[in-house]
Structure 1
Amino acid sequence: MSDSSRDTVEGAGWGTAERGAYRQLMPGRVEKLSWLDPRTLWAARNGVVASWFGDPTGRTRSRWVAARAAAGAPADKVIRRADPDRFSFMVIGDTGEGDDSQYAVVPGFLKVGQDAAFAVIASDVIYPVGSTDDYGTKFFRPYQDYPAPIYAIPGNHDWYEDLGGFMRVFCGDAPPLPPEPKPRSLSRAWWRALLWRRPRPADEQRLTEARALRSAPAQQAVQPGPYWAIDAGPIRIIGIDTGLLGTIDAEQGAWLREVSQGPRPKILITGSPLYVDGEHHPCAIEGGGTVDDIVPDPAHHYVAAIGGDIHNYQRYPVDVDGRTIQYVVSGGGGAFMHATHTIAPVSVANVTEQDFRCYPRRGDSLAFYSRLYGRRLRLRRFFTLTEVEATAVVAERLGIPPTRTQSSPVRVTRRIRLVASLLGAGRRPDRPSRIRFPVRKIYTQLFSPSSATYSPPFFKSFLRLDVTPEAVRLRCFAATGNRAQELQPPVEDEVTIPLR
């Protein structure tokens, strides 16, 4: 196994490294998606429209589920596999951008997952709007050589065309839903319908050609719907669909409570993480309660909850009455990178900074953004921080040891401190900054989406979970886009989760 970002600067992907061979997997022409392009923002408008005029996701989801039930899907939505007591599976989140950031993950994913029983995509299979026509270059082509089935849960972007593409690919080529009755004029529903983006007709020949890339019998899987459970070996994996706004409907909530019963150890896969960026987001259930009322209940025997949506890796080991539940963010499968350097010292649910893990490490995240904005603002000499400088100033601001051992002391100058402050680097609560933009949400909603780059290091990641009757070993592997990490994907985090 090669050095990781914990060990060396080279292990993090910095330096004059050789680019990996991932570009050989890419199509000849790749459309570069810009999240600042008004056309992209308009196409992805349904989340904003739902927040203004009411979210129809729950009703639409119920219609999809009813259609799948009528087609013969199991009523309990449980996929019962014949895996042995010892097996492995992969988790990769927020994959579908179709550019370098996605394809750079593929060689390492294939290498680490070559003997895994199956894989799960956790959120946002296809950007920007989940279109059926995009599945060829953003799903079937990159994973054509993955030999096992791939299951998925949709993210908010998959819902921007009412989940039609997702249902066709993952749920037995589900036919389109019939149109609903027209709403009353000038009602909220009428305004929503007026502004709503509707699914575009699919190119059937294009989809047929794309399906041929993953046509081997061992690669096939049909899901009972957008949410499901998988009984595999000694565990149950439960995937929930959090729709456009990060919530679940009452029908899905009742199902989740039902399939969570029993002594079998469980792992939740969700489109919206329950702990992220040092905050708790319990995920509301329509009609009352939250998903994170269900997960820590000792009667349900959850050992982990893994969510996508945020494009990095984070882990929060939360103590619940003497047992630990691992709450994980795994959204680094192939899109722009959400910053980690903006995360303040962690103190949530008795999880401290010493317990918390993230990738990319905060210093690498800050160095990445300093180079990016130095280049874009044409102020490279002012903004650009070396990896060593960024690591040192983050350690100073957070009051923590450097994540990598420095070969020699680093002098943190006024310029370095100012750049760190302007770029929103986290800071100890007892030392508030006088010069700091309100970037916590701005970074997530604006700065990070505009940070797409097309050369390494990308700081992408994916998970492998090795299951035995006694424990689950969870490992986060890095994908930088460099040749060294492509040949030997480094482990950035590892934890063993006891099942008994």
Structure 2
Amino acid sequence: MSESSRETARGAGWGAAEPGEYKRLMPPRPKKLFWLDPRTMWGARNGALASLFGDPTGRTRARWTAQRAAAGAPADRVIRRDDPDRFSFLVIGDTGEGHEPQYAVVPGMLRVGQDTRFAVVASDVIYPVGATDDYAAKFFRPYQDYRAPVYAIPGNHDWYEDLTGFMRVFCDDAPPLPAEPAPRPLTRAWLRSLLWHRPSPVDEELLAAARKLRSDTAQQAVQPGPYWAIDAGPIRIVGIDTGLLGTLDAEQGAWLREVSRDPRPKILITGRPLYVDGEHHPCRIEGGGTVDDIVRDPANRYVAAIGGDIHNYQRYPVDVDGRTVQYVVAGGGGSFMHATHTIPRVSVGGVTEQEFRCYPLRGDSLAFYSALYGRRLRLPRFFTLTEAEATAVVSKRLEITPGRSPQPTTRVTRRARLVASLLGTGRRPDRGTRFRLPVRKAYTDLLSPGSATYSPPFFKSFLRLDVSPDEIRLRCHAATGNRAQELEPPVEDEVTIPLR
């Protein structure tokens, strides 16, 4: 096993290194996705419209599930597999930008996952709007050599075209939903419908050709809908669809409560993480209650909740009445990197900084963004911090022990402190709120989408879970884009979860 970012800077991907071979997997001229392009933001407008004029996701989801039920999907939406008591599977989140960072994950994923029984994509399979035509380059091509089935739950971006592409690819080529009657004029629904982004026309020849890339019998998987449960060996994996705004409709909430009563230990896969960036987001269910209420109920036997949407790795081992539930963020599968250096010193749900884990490490995150904005703003001498400088200033600013110690001679200069502040490094907890810069939310919402880069290190990740009757071993593997980490993807975090 190669060294990780917690051991050396080389393990993080810094310094001179041989590039990986991921580029040979890519299309000859991949179309670049610029998140700050007004055309991209306009195409992804449905989330904002749902916030302003009401969210139609629950109604649309109910129509999709009714269509699948009429086509013969199981009423309980449970996929029953024949996996043995000991097996392994992969989880990759927020995958489909179709650029170098997504393809850089693939070689290591294939090596680590060559004996796994299946994979799950956790949220945002396709960017920017989940269009059917994008599945060729952003799903079928990158994962054509993965010889097992791939299941998925949608993220908010998959919903920007009303889930049409997702349902065609994962749900037995489900036909488009018939048009609904026009809403009453001058209502909120009517205003929403005037601006709503509709599904794009589909290139059927492109889709047919793409399907051939994953046409082997061993690769086939059919889901009963956008949310499902998988009975695999000794566990049940429950996947929920959090739609455009990160909530569950009443129908899905009732299903989740019912399917959670099964006596097996369970893992939740969700489009939005329940713990993320040092905060608790329990996920509201229409009509009352939250998803986390269900996860925390000891009768339901959840041992982990894994969510996508945020493009990095985080883990929070939360004590729930004497048992530990592992809350994991697993969104590092291929999209632009959300910063980790903006996460304040962790103290949430009984989890402190000592128990919290993340990848990339905060210092590496700050070094990555300092170099990026040094190039973008043409001020490299001011902005760019070495990984050692970034690690040292983050450690001092947050008063934490760094995951990888900086060189003893590294000084925290005034420039380093200023750059760390400008780039949103989490504030020290003893500072009053009047000193807190309003950069962190803006950084997440605006600056992070501009962080897409096309040369290593990428700081991407994926999960491998090894299941036995007694325990689950969860490992987070890194993908930097360098050859060394392709050949032996380093383990950035590992935890054993007891089942008995």
Instruction: Give the match for residue 463 of structure 1.
Output: 463
SS in 2 for 1:397: helix
Distance 1:127 1:51 in 2: 20
Amino acid at match of 1:237: I
1:244-263 to 2 correspondence within 5 Å? 244-263=244-263
1:10-409 to 2 correspondence within 5 Å? 10-409=10-409
| TM-superposition CA deviations, 1:140-190 (whole Å, max 9, x none) | 000000000000000000000000000000000001111101111111110
Amino acid at match of 2:193: A
What is the deviation of 1:436? 5.4
Instruction: Give the match for residue 495 of structure 2.
Output: 495
TM-score (norm 1): 0.99
What is the deviation of 1:430? 0.4
What is the deviation of 1:381? 0.7
* Alpha carbons 2:122, 2:307 under 8 Å: kept: yes
Distance 2:247 2:260 in 1: 18
SS in 1 for 2:47: helix
Q: Which moved more, 1:222-231 or 1:192-201?
A: 192-201
What is the deviation of 1:409? 2.7
| Structure 2 gaps, min length 5 | none
| TM-superposition CA deviations, 1:44-88 (whole Å, max 9, x none) | 000001101100000000000000000000000000000000000
- Residues 23, 61 of structure 1: CA spacing in aligned structure 2 closer, same or farther, 3 A cutoff? same
Instruction: Give the match for residue 478 of structure 1.
Output: 478
* Alpha carbons 1:427, 1:433 under 8 Å: kept: no
Distance 2:223 2:434 in 1: 52
- Residues 268, 290 of structure 1: CA spacing in aligned structure 2 closer, same or farther, 3 A cutoff? same
* Alpha carbons 1:424, 1:436 under 8 Å: kept: no
SS in 2 for 1:88: strand
| TM-superposition CA deviations, 1:326-380 (whole Å, max 9, x none) | 0000000001000000000001111000010000000000000100111111111
Amino acid at match of 1:231: D
* Alpha carbons 2:62, 2:251 under 8 Å: kept: yes
* Alpha carbons 2:427, 2:436 under 8 Å: kept: no
What is the deviation of 1:431? 3.2
SS in 1 for 2:128: coil
What is the deviation of 1:262? 3.0
| TM-superposition CA deviations, 1:373-400 (whole Å, max 9, x none) | 1111111111110000000011101111
Distance 1:217 1:225 in 2: 21
Distance 1:258 1:242 in 2: 17
Distance 1:435 1:459 in 2: 31
SS in 1 for 2:257: helix
* Alpha carbons 1:121, 1:152 under 8 Å: kept: yes
Amino acid at match of 2:419: V
Distance 1:499 1:92 in 2: 23
Amino acid at match of 2:215: S
SS in 2 for 1:105: helix
Distance 1:187 1:411 in 2: 60
Distance 1:149 1:86 in 2: 17
SS in 2 for 1:475: strand
Distance 1:166 1:414 in 2: 49
Distance 2:459 2:437 in 1: 25
RMSD, aligned α-carbons: 0.9
What is the deviation of 1:94? 0.2
| TM-superposition CA deviations, 1:241-280 (whole Å, max 9, x none) | 0000000100000000000003210000000000000000
Amino acid at match of 2:101: S
Amino acid at match of 1:134: D
Distance 1:135 1:406 in 2: 42
Identical-pair percentage? 79
SS in 2 for 1:264: coil
Distance 2:427 2:437 in 1: 13
Distance 1:29 1:102 in 2: 15
Distance 1:483 1:19 in 2: 5
Instruction: Give the match for residue 417 of structure 2.
Output: 417
* Alpha carbons 1:106, 1:142 under 8 Å: kept: yes
| TM-superposition CA deviations, 1:189-219 (whole Å, max 9, x none) | 1011100011011010100000000000000
Distance 2:129 2:423 in 1: 30
SS in 2 for 1:158: helix
What is the deviation of 1:433? 8.5
What is the deviation of 1:18? 1.1
Distance 1:263 1:222 in 2: 25
Amino acid at match of 1:40: T
Distance 2:402 2:261 in 1: 43
Distance 1:99 1:402 in 2: 31
SS in 1 for 2:166: helix
Distance 1:497 1:322 in 2: 14
Distance 2:475 2:178 in 1: 43
What is the deviation of 1:434? 7.5
Distance 1:493 1:408 in 2: 25
SS in 2 for 1:405: coil
SS in 2 for 1:91: strand
TM-score (norm 2): 0.99
* Alpha carbons 2:388, 2:407 under 8 Å: kept: no
SS in 1 for 2:451: coil
Distance 2:369 2:184 in 1: 48
| TM-superposition CA deviations, 1:449-499 (whole Å, max 9, x none) | 111100000000000000000000000000000111011100000000000
